[in-house]
Amino acid sequence: MSICLHRFEQDVAGVEPPQRFTWPFHYAPHPLSVMAAQQVMRYVETRNDWADELQAGKMLGVLVVRDANCALGFLAAYSGNLCGRNDHAYFVPPVYDLLQPDGEFRQGEAAITAINHEIERMEQSDELARLSLQLRCARCNRDQDIKRYKLYMAECKAARDLHRAEGDLTQTQVQELLTESQFQKAELKRLRRKHEAIIVELESQIAEYQSRINSLKAERKHRSEALQERIFHLFVVHNAHGESKDLMEIWGGTLPPSGSGECCAPKLLQYAYLNGLQPVCMAEFWYGQSPVGEVRHHGHYYPACRSKCLPILTFMLQGLEVEPNRLADPVTHKGLDIAYDDAWMTIVRKPAGMLTVPGKLLDDSVETRYRSRSDVSGPVVVHRLDQETSGLVVLAKNKQAHKALQDLFASCEVKKTYIALLHGVVATDQGTIDLPLRPDVDDRPRQMVDAEHGRPAVTTYHVLDRRDGITRVELHPFTGRTHQLRVHCSHPLGLNMPIVGDMLYGTAASRLMLHAARLQFTHPFTRHTIDITWEPPF
């Protein structure tokens, strides 16, 4: 048996394996995956030499497999490297080992590092510092000399003006005054030219020096891009059909994102295919502290990242019977549940699982159903709810109503009340969460807390009930950022308790327990108070 293939410590005879392999971008971990993950966590906790790095946070993964005798076991992997190594015996090897001492990556990296050192040496050299100082002094001398000479010229002009005012000047005297003025103007030009010649020479020497630095930087960029392309050609992945492609092929000839192929899922599937093991199910989970800005909870399961892994796994999963993407499944019941309707707008009850607007994989949505049944014109969607969130959604019947209603939401004149169930017991009865948010560009649609670049996001909360380790809360968002409530609840600087069923920021369940329960605002045309409530189904 391979040293990377581990047997279950617990008896799994009574655990029914899944009929289809895990869809890695939206899943609830199968009990076999959970048992494997727990066994991996028990193992890594015995490794004191890894403790610091693991506690700082690391994504780990497990792949349950059948061997040639149909016996169940599992593989384990970590994202990136662990303590500067890719060859820890307990875990599967990388798709391509970037850390091989004599490998192409290390050699290319060494050449780029040498260029970096040369750039740093030149940028910090005494010669460049001397030239820069001389240039500053030359500019200062020019400004001072010209200023002094202009003051002298002003004094001479005042004296000439006085002579002219006194009158009785001979023609010769008049000519002498004119000649003096012309000479001083010409002398000022000569003074400027003398200083500019010195400055231009120094600027030329600095430009030549900087040109050599820029040339090195261009060479570094070229070498870096060429190295990345060569390395991504060496990342050759396989699928269940026995086919193989390198990452450059998978990305259609463009450079993949940095770090592609180094996540857990590609490593696990690659090892299984190359060693005759049949994938059964998989899961990825976080170990240790949450990264700054992100939401990762120790021991919680997370979907594979989309920016790096979606193209790779789309290829690697070919040949396996994979679970359907539940986010691409249309909501079974037809029609729309209307909570309020008038000449300007409609408020509908959106069920969990339905998109607000059409998506890439699914056209069925609140908007498409509304347009098919209503005589509407122009934009209709005033605000959105996540696909997994149920609740009240406002739709406009014409362009004028759409603008008026959007203005109400933008100016925070709509009071929104959400009900959520949180994993854990919130200690305080009420409070305010103020955490600015921005998209995680490497793992959309996830959002991150970012005090510097994030947009303001404010939420107040009020605890309604605490029972059996679950807290029911009422949430009031004062801003409408993507995933605002989900991040504010789950982030360590927020409530640090993910919403039940939040697969992105917490743990999967039957559904996301978040519901837009109430909308209150003044009708923009009738000026009547609109107050619509829909009790949550949980």
| pLDDT, tens digit (0-9, with 9 covering 90-100), for 211-247 | 999 999 999 999 999 999 999 999 999 999 999 999 9
Do residues 245 and 320 share a domain? yes
Q: Which residue, of 303, 324, 345, is where some domain finishes? A: 324
Rounded mean pLDDT, 34-56: 96
What is the C-alpha to C-alpha distance for residues 274 and 92, in angstroms, rounded to an integer?
11
- Do 394 and 405 meet the contact criterion of CB atoms below 8 Å apart? yes
Count of other CB atoms within 10 angstroms of residue 493:
16
Q: Residue 113 corresponds to which tokens in the numbers above?
A: 């590092």
Cα torsion angle, 35, 37, 38, 39, sign? positive
Q: Do 389 and 503 fall within a single domain?
A: yes
Of 148, 183, 216, the last residue of a domain is 216
**Residue 432: band (very low, low, confident or very high) from pLDDT cuts 50, 70, 90:** very high
| Inside any domain, residue 357 | yes
My answer on whether 264 and 379 are in the same domain is no
CB atoms within 10 A of CB 93: 16
* Angle, vertex CA 273, rays to CA 267 and CA 277, nearest 5: 105
Distance of alpha carbon 266 from alpha carbon 232, whole angstroms: 14
What is the mean pLDDT of the segment spanning 497-519? 93
- Is 444 in contact with 307 (CB distance < 8 Å)? yes
Q: Please name which of 197, 228, 223, 6 lies closest in space to residue 98, comparing C-alpha atoms.
A: 228
Query: Can you give the pLDDT at residue 256?
Result: 94
Number of domains in the chain: 3
pTM above threshold 0.85: no
- Do 314 and 336 have their domain in common? no
Q: What's the CA gap between 76 and 62, in Å, rounded?
A: 5
* Domain match, 153 and 258 both: no
From its phi and psi, is residue 514 left (phi > 0), alpha (psi between -120 and 50) or beta? beta
For residues 413 and 393, state if they share a domain: yes
In a shared domain, residues 319 and 180: no
DSSP 8-state code for residue 49: G
Mean pLDDT for 58-74 is 97
To the nearest 10 degrees (0 to 180), the angle between helices 306-316 and 264-274 is: 20
CB 436 within 8 A of CB 449: yes
**What's the pLDDT at 51?**
95
* Domain assignment present for 452: yes
Residue 357 scores a pLDDT above 70: yes
User: How far apart, in whole angstroms, are the C-alpha atoms of residue 273 and residue 219?
Assistant: 39
Indicate whether 60 belongs to any domain: yes
Domain around 307:
31-96+235-324
Are 318 and 332 within one domain?
no
Whether 348 and 337 have beta carbons less than 8 Å apart is answered as yes
From the list 145, 161, 386, 442, the catalytic residue is: 386
Mean pLDDT (whole number) for 271-289: 97
**pLDDT value of residue 2:** 67
Residue of 20, 124, 5 whose CA lies nearest to 66: 5
Q: Does 513 map to a domain?
A: yes
Q: Is residue 44 part of a domain?
A: yes
Cα–Cα nearest to 432, from 412, 415, 457, 413? 457
| C-alpha–C-alpha distance, residues 227 and 390, integer Å | 48
Query: Does the structure show a pLDDT above 90 at 273?
Result: yes
% of residues, the chain, pLDDT over 90: 86
pLDDT tens digits, 441-465? 888 889 999 999 999 999 999 999 9
Closest by CA to 268, choosing from 288, 285, 251, 252, is 285
Cβ–Cβ under 8 Å, residues 324 and 23 = yes
Which of the two residues, 506 and 270, has the higher pLDDT score?
A: 270
363 and 315 both lie in a single domain: no
- The rounded radius of gyration (Å) of the Cα atoms in the chain is 34
Give the model's pLDDT for residue 468: 95
Higher pLDDT, 493 or 292: 493
* Domain termination residue (choose one: 273, 303, 324): 324
Predicted confidence at residue 104, as pLDDT, reads 87
Q: How many CB atoms lie within 10 A of CB 59?
A: 20
Q: Are residues 272 and 197 part of one domain?
A: no
Residue 291 amino acid letter? P
Query: At residue 1, does pLDDT exceed 60?
Result: no
User: Rounded mean pLDDT of the chain?
Assistant: 94
CATH code of the domain in which 394 resides: 3.30.2350.10
Q: Identify the CA nearest to 308 among candidates 258, 357, 248, 243.
A: 258
Establish whether 386 is a catalytic residue: yes
Whether 175 shows a pLDDT value over 60: the answer reads: yes
Please tell me whether residues 200 and 285 are part of one structural domain.
no
Residues 79 and 138 placed together within one structural domain of the fold: no
Q: Is the pLDDT of residue 106 over 90?
A: no
